[in-house]
Structure 1
């Protein structure tokens, strides 16, 4: 089976959730016998080395700037990705025979008009972009021109993703929630659920105990480059200012971010600590009682949930962000519908050591064998071989 895989950029090194997911699926699928995969993408910001046994077609870098996309039918991301360099390379590659054209995330649907209607297309969704973009555009934050631009971009994302789903023979979703949305909008379309795998260390025994000596700290780890991620953090900081300070809870934010933005947040919220672009978040996870998932905006699977769980941390999460994580939000996590109630719930539970240890133990047991990349490659391979088996 010969597959042309169209994605945003070289996922090596995989230093964000988007790239981790792409590289994990690529590696696990390429390991199956009888598959030949060619990847069309831009060069990444760092040189990609190693990785799966695929043919890399890497050309150019992703252009900056979005203003020119305002006059296009494509949203900003797709407009920049479908630049003349990529389109010329796709034209060349389409002269070959392919069993599947794999569109890896909605922004790569720029390729649809060149692919035509006589090839089999699979859509590997990272989000249900239509709902995510609409949600971000309706948030109400930012200047009036920014809000209008986001609404226009959101509408274009919705049209583009709808066209991609109609054209695709197979859709994969990263969470059950997203799969339900795709099935509702595309009745009878084959949809398979492909949560991420995990490549980090998974402990064999129970999680490390949370004791009275464990710092009374909540940690938020992640990448804060996308607008929705930044807004989620800013929203939670506003919500937690009162409850966390009153309960004298430490809040550590660590991960991939603009250092100047983190510095501005530190000046505005001196009760919290912000550390950007560290080589590893593990030392910060090991000095906390709770791992936070505050994403009220944005969909997809929260990879940081697995980092928390496999380091022995119980989860505190906005309920919608737990889709795909096999924990009971009522008894095995601190879950709430919004940042305000989540901040209050964390303050109530921070010293309940029995609950924290129970939640951490249950989550680790449920996830220990549930996130193997090999299983994801097998499932995606079977879906490509027989899409009809995945009709609802």
Structure 2
């Protein structure tokens, strides 16, 4: 007997966090057992969303009749069904009727995401009401799904509900080995890597840069802040003009292109939940890192110093830029942690124990 892995992610793609994590799960499962892959794309069928308004929108948009027919026709071929992300968890109801073991790999607790968005002061009243409605639907389905499945794995301990009474696993993503490079920047440099298309992420970045600028003006020294990633050109033009210490790298093809150009990584974004993949980026770049509160969520040990205000974060970044000894000490502690908890071997071992029949 074999298993099937069901996903809407593009397995093998590395341009999006969901795709990277899904690929890691599938590749590791495929090393330990025979696993078929069923991948399909999310649909923008909003008419169906309106007709089935009482179901979570993500379930309606990620429904596949082809998948239903496949599972029914080949029900004797699979003894285990792996569901990647809660958007595919509607399959668990059909799988339960077919008496199959079901394991859900949840990237985050969807109900908590909608709940936090429904309370966000950054969102309009319409969006907050919509998110509360979705939160209610998702939460009610979670109450059912997380009781009929065989196991629930999540990227972060914060995304596993306390009331779930199934086999549980906290499975943070793994990282490949850090880049090997020779050289260092000409002056102390902080780097912020990310995608800044979402207004809230732009806002968080600008609040940090404002706070950093205040410290910079009080005690000027030769240093810089690199902002690397994708964003609207108007946003990048704005921060170039406003902050004299900022250098923008507008997109890059591979993370290795950023190796050796900075001395510390910064996580100024506290939006969302789950695991902040930015921490793995800084690990691969051989950089110590610090964060705003919740900016390094998902890290299993308190190795990333986090600050509850952007002013405190900016002061600490500015201080570390001038303190090589402290940077080295922070790097050693963080490097040891990531090598222990975010290696492919550790990831493989956890999944094997989790998916044991």
- State TM-score, norm by structure 2: 0.84
- Sort the Cα spacing of 1:336 and 1:208 in 2 relative to 1 into closer, same or farther, 3 A: farther
Pick aligned residue for 2:43 from 41, 63, 68: 63
State whether structure 2 residue 276 is matched by structure 1 residue 302: yes
Gaps of 5+ in 2: none
RMSD of aligned Cα (Å): 2.9
Measured in 2, the distance between the counterparts of 1:231 and 1:156 equals 25
Paired position in structure 1 for 2:87: 107
Paired position in structure 1 for 2:73: 95
> Highest relative contact order (Cα 8 Å, sep 6+), 1 or 2?
1
- Sort the Cα spacing of 1:102 and 1:310 in 2 relative to 1 into closer, same or farther, 3 A: same
State whether structure 2 residue 286 is matched by structure 1 residue 288: no
Paired position in structure 2 for 1:162: 143
- Sort the Cα spacing of 1:262 and 1:335 in 2 relative to 1 into closer, same or farther, 3 A: farther
Paired position in structure 2 for 1:137: 118
Paired position in structure 1 for 2:173: 196
Paired position in structure 2 for 1:217: 189
Paired position in structure 2 for 1:46: none
Q: How does 1:203-282 map to 2 (within 5 A)?
A: 214-224=186-196, 227=198, 230-244=199-213, 246-247=215-216, 250-255=224-229, 257=230, 259=231, 261-267=232-238, 270-271=242-243, 272-282=246-256
Measured in 2, the distance between the counterparts of 1:360 and 1:209 equals 17
Structure 1 segments, 4+ long, off by >6 Å, are 207-210
- Sort the Cα spacing of 1:377 and 1:312 in 2 relative to 1 into closer, same or farther, 3 A: closer
Paired position in structure 2 for 1:37: 35
> What SS does the aligned partner of 2:355 have?
helix
Gaps of 5+ in 1: 43-60, 387-392
Query: For this pair of structures, how many residues does the alignment match?
Result: 345
- State TM-score, norm by structure 1: 0.77
Paired position in structure 2 for 1:126: 107
Cα drift, residue 323 of structure 1: 4.4
Measured in 1, the distance between the counterparts of 2:172 and 2:236 equals 32
Measured in 2, the distance between the counterparts of 1:322 and 1:268 equals 24
Cα drift, residue 192 of structure 1: 1.5
Cα drift, residue 241 of structure 1: 1.0
Measured in 1, the distance between the counterparts of 2:336 and 2:186 equals 22
State whether structure 2 residue 124 is matched by structure 1 residue 151: no
Measured in 1, the distance between the counterparts of 2:314 and 2:82 equals 41
> What SS does the aligned partner of 1:124 have?
strand
Cα drift, residue 199 of structure 1: 2.6
State whether structure 2 residue 342 is matched by structure 1 residue 371: yes
Paired position in structure 2 for 1:20: 20
